[in-house]
Amino acid sequence: MNYECRVVVEPQKSVLYIHTTSSVQDLPMVLGRCYGEIMTYMHEKHISAHGAPYVAYYNMDMDNLDIDVGVPVDTLVESNQSNIKCGTIPSGNYVSTLHVGPYNKIESAYKALITYIEESGVRSTGAAYEYYLNDPQETPESELQTQVLFKLID
């Protein structure tokens, strides 16, 4: 797949998230559990999503990924849950591309972004974000859309 990589300016986003770790093999189970907890909390508190669910990756250790699993919300809200946190995704410049297809084939999108970063001379903070733009329960695997971004050093 050919990837169009470009620098985009993203606004700050208010989010509810769970910070956790996971191996890449356990990631589907961990994400399902975390999204379930967040969605249940949002439903109970009448909080609306304001954008696509996401995962923030703070390292690329496939045996021990350091991640935030979250959902953008309309406004910053306080959470009374011990594991569900409120916070923000910072505004600023990001390098972005769109991956279409199965989640387990997303590595090529990361390679394209890393190549773009190296060739363009911009510098990444190392934080990567995946926004899941459609629902895997309703969308064929070949049509899944994931926006992949790396936060750039401003």
Strand partners, 19: 68
Which pLDDT belongs to residue 154?
79
Domain covering 6-152, topology: Multidrug-efflux Transporter 1 Regulator Bmrr; Chain A (3.20.80)
Neighbours of 31 (CB within 10 A): 19
Which pLDDT belongs to residue 78?
77
| Contact by Cβ (8 Å): 96, 108 | no
Strand partners, 97: 148
Backbone phi and psi for residue 107, each to the nearest 5 degrees, phi listed first: -55, -35
Which pLDDT belongs to residue 75?
82
- Does the pLDDT of residue 1 top 90, yes or no? no
Q: Cα dist. 67→9, 48, 57 in Å?
A: 22, 22, 5
Q: Are strands 124-132 and 145-152 parallel, antiparallel or unpaired?
A: antiparallel
Average pLDDT over residues 127-133: 97
48-99 per-position pLDDT tens digit: 999 999 999 999 999 999 999 999 999 877 777 779 999 999 999 999 999 9
Average pLDDT over residues 112-119: 96
Coil, strand, or helix at residue 129?
strand
Which pLDDT belongs to residue 77?
78
Nearest-5° Cα angle at 114, 128 to 66:
30
Rounded percentage of the chain residues whose pLDDT exceeds 90? 92
Among 2, 1, 7, 17, which residue's Cα sits nearest to residue 89?
17
Tabulate helix, strand, coil % of the chain (nearest 5). Answer: 25, 40, 35
- Does the pLDDT of residue 133 top 90, yes or no? yes
| Contact by Cβ (8 Å): 49, 133 | no
- Does the pLDDT of residue 19 top 90, yes or no? yes
